[in-house]
Chain A
Amino acid sequence: MITLTDFLIVSAALFCIGLYMIVSKHNAIQILIGIELMLNAAILNLVAFGKFDKINNGGQIFALFAIILAAATTAVALAIILNVYKKYRTIDPARINNLKD
């Protein structure tokens, strides 16, 4: 029997790894991967609790919505990263310090 607490601890670990990546990385793509890890931790929680919702399937359906939202986020974020690279020739967020003139 896999308890709910096991799922919650795995997802907490994933969330913290994502947090570490977001705080420490010098590359916008790796920060994006960190955000994806955090989103996946949230989806894992939704799915784990969704096991106990047989009639309405709330957890699983909102997990699907979260996956779609992650896809939309990634598409927009990558377009922004490409634009930033075109303008600054770098994607280190620490070195992007000008607005458009």
Chain B
Amino acid sequence: MSLAQVLFYVMAFIVVGSALFVASTKNLVRSIFMFFITLFALAGLYVLALADFVAITQIVIYVGGILVLILFAFMLSGKETLNVLQQQKSKFISLNKLPAILLAVLFFMVMVNVITKIDAGNIGWIKQVISTNTDIKPNEEMINNIGINLMTRYLLPFEAISILLMMALVGAAHLSRKERGAV
């Protein structure tokens, strides 16, 4: 068992464990801060999938941007949200959560079944890439290639997504403005 494999299992365990904690805890603040851990461990998984630029982007945008936004929303929406949470019974599995748990577990079983059936390592194009030995190797640097591809092959999606991002931010600013003359 190589070191990369050990690291992969450690990271995967942290990701799934902290995500389960996020899903199961009653304390909203704790769940948000455990979500930090999930995102960091996911960045580690991206590094193990040899996508270091995506991992850095994940840390910068998710941890630096999205989580701070979520914390802001949590703080601005007052302490009533906490009261709602504390009213719930503190049993680990309460009866009204049962359908959701059932749905998630059954869906997980279906997906695992599908994944083991298709046997992703043996799909045609992946086999071809492995046989011609052109998959990304750990000692190669892909960032230059990503930049060139982003500005040539994927230029249209890049521009479209930049316009979409601008529209979304203008919309968010418009939604959260104070109404003139209102309370």
Interface residues of A in 1-49 (CB under 8 A from B): 1-10, 12-21, 23-24, 26-27, 29-30, 32-34, 36-37, 40, 43-44, 47-49
Q: Are A29 and B28 in contact (CB under 8 A)?
A: yes
Interface of B is mostly: helix
Q: Are B49 and A50 in contact (CB under 8 A)?
A: yes
For B5, give its contact among A2, A17, A29 (CB under 8 Å): A2
Query: How many B residues, CB 8 Å from partner?
Result: 88
Q: Are A37 and B38 in contact (CB under 8 A)?
A: yes
Query: How many A residues, CB 8 Å from partner?
Result: 72
Residues from chain B with Cβ under 8 Å of A64 in the complex: 53-54, 57, 146, 150
Interface residues of B in 91-144 (CB under 8 A from A): 97, 99-101, 103-105, 107-108, 111-112, 115-116, 119-121, 125-126, 129-130, 134-136, 140, 142
Q: Mark B residues whose CB is within 8 Å of A.
A: 2, 4-5, 8, 12, 15-16, 19-20, 22-23, 28, 31-32, 35, 38-39, 42, 45-46, 48-51, 53-54, 57-58, 61-62, 65-66, 69-70, 72-74, 76-78, 80-81, 84-85, 88, 97, 99-101, 103-105, 107-108, 111-112, 115-116, 119-121, 125-126, 129-130, 134-136, 140, 142, 145-146, 149-150, 153-154, 157-158, 161, 164-165, 168-169, 171-173, 175-176
